[in-house]
Amino acid sequence: MKFLVTGSGGLIGNQLISDLDKIDQTIYSCYNDALPLKGIPIHLDLLNLDEITTIFEKIKPDVVIHLAALTDVELCESNPKLAYMINTTATEKIAKESEKLGCFLIYLSTDYVFDGKNGMYDEKNSSNPLNEYAKTKLYGEKAVEKYNTKWSILRTSTPFGNHPTRKTFPKWIVENLKSKKSLNIVEDQFTSPTYVPNLSKMILEVSMSNLEGLLHLSGSTRISRYEFAKLISEQLDLDSSLLNPIKMENISWKAKRPSDSSLDISKAISILKEKPYSIKKSLQEYLPELRNSLPL
């Protein structure tokens, strides 16, 4: 099968194209700045709508996995127009081009589409985004539903894992604790942290089995940022007394964050062979890798 993956050099894309490569699929790895490590590299700037059309007409993919997005929540808040162009307008264009070719479109979305008042959201719960990033991602979801007949929308939460340049939460925690720096970590923000290699396998299964519809794909544990950081430090024998629990209201974010955007992943558990990992299992796999990549 011919796969076209946008955002192939990003945190999730980097893992996904490596997993696709292992199962010998033809991968067209779209990038804007960062050259992808696997697949056939294709330059694609989502701000150039004509380029999207040209690439789709040339490649005629069977499956499109649209991961690229403006993911910097603060930047989206200060530049909502740019966020809309990348996360919504380009997604709408990709949805239309996918439909023209009859390909299966998989769109990665976010737990931030929820307002966080309740937590443990399932696929039937109503969305109510609090910030520009989340609004533009939700409009992207609407475009996929509106223009496509074969689609899958996958919402994930706090992805973490290794990446050549992107630093995720656990690595940031470990680096700082190792240099004996104290850190303020929010104790009243809950998500469902997702280990990227586990997420990638679930996305792969969705794409290979043509699983259509809306699906929450995250780790299976609801946890606060502070408890997550404490688990990491305890498991690596680092000094967790350097972690200071603080409240979200004490951080001067421009963009509002949901206080509990944890996801209910019962549907994924019931339909996928690759099951979402608990935080314990994720850290069991990831921390030895992280330990090897850092001079601990």
272 binds ligand NAP (CB under 6 A): no
137 touches ligand NAP by CB under 6 A: yes
By CB under 6 A, residue 217 contacts ligand NAP: no
Q: Tell whether residue 294 is a contact of ligand NAP (CB under 6 A).
A: no
Bridge partners (DSSP) listed for residue 40? 28
Q: Which residue is nearest to ligand NAP (CB)?
A: 10
In the bound state with ligand NAP, the residue whose beta carbon lies nearer, of 93 and 238, is 93
- Calculate the alpha carbon distances from 111 to 37, 75, 243, 259, 269 in Å: 28, 18, 25, 11, 17
Of residues 177 and 196, the one with the C-beta less far from ligand NAP: 196
Encoded amino acid at 88, one letter? T
Stretch that binds ligand NAP, among 8-16, 182-190, 221-229, 288-296 (CB under 6 A): 8-16
Site residues for ligand NAP, 29-68, by CB under 6 A, read 31-34, 44-47, 67-68
Name the minimum Å distance from CB 31 to ligand NAP: 4
CB of 32 to ligand NAP, least distance (A): 3
Answer yes or no whether residue 110 interacts with ligand NAP by CB under 6 A: yes
CB of 141 to ligand NAP, least distance (A): 11
Q: Please identify, using beta-carbon distances, which residue of 144 and 238 lies nearer to ligand NAP.
A: 144
With respect to ligand NAP, which residue has the nearer C-beta, 91 or 233? 91
**Per rule CB under 6 A, is residue 12 in the interface with ligand NAP?**
yes
C-beta closer to ligand NAP: residue 108 or 243: 108
Nearer to ligand NAP among residue 156 and residue 233 (C-beta): 156
9 touches ligand NAP (CB under 6 A): yes
Rg (CA), the chain: 19
Q: What is the 3-state secondary structure (H, E, C) of the chain?
A: CEEEEECCCCHHHHHHHHHHHHCCCEEEEEECCCCCCCCEEEECCCCCHHHHHHHHHHHCCCEEEECCCCCCHHHHHHCHHHHHHHHHHHHHHHHHHHHHHCCEEEEEEEHHHCCCCCCCECCCCCCCCCCHHHHHHHHHHHHHHHHCCCEEEEEECCEECCCCCCCCHHHHHHHHHHCCCCEEEECCCEECCEEHHHHHHHHHHHHHCCCCEEEECCCCCCEEHHHHHHHHHHHCCCCHHHEEEECHHHCCCCCCCCCECCECCHHHHHHCCCCCCCHHHHHHHHHHHHHHHCCC
**263 binding ligand NAP? (CB under 6 A):** no
In the complex, the smallest distance separating the C-beta of residue 217 from ligand NAP, rounded to whole angstroms, is 10
**b/e map of 146-164 (b: 16 or more CB within 10 Å)?**
ebbeebbbbbbbbbbbbbe
> Which range, of 26-34, 143-151, 242-250, 262-270, touches ligand NAP by CB under 6 A?
26-34
Structure tokens belonging to residue 76: 């989206």
Q: Does 159 bind ligand NAP (CB under 6 A)?
A: yes
Q: Which residues of the shown chain bind ligand NAP in the complex (CB under 6 A)?
A: 7, 9-13, 31-34, 44-47, 67-71, 86, 108, 110, 137, 156-159, 166
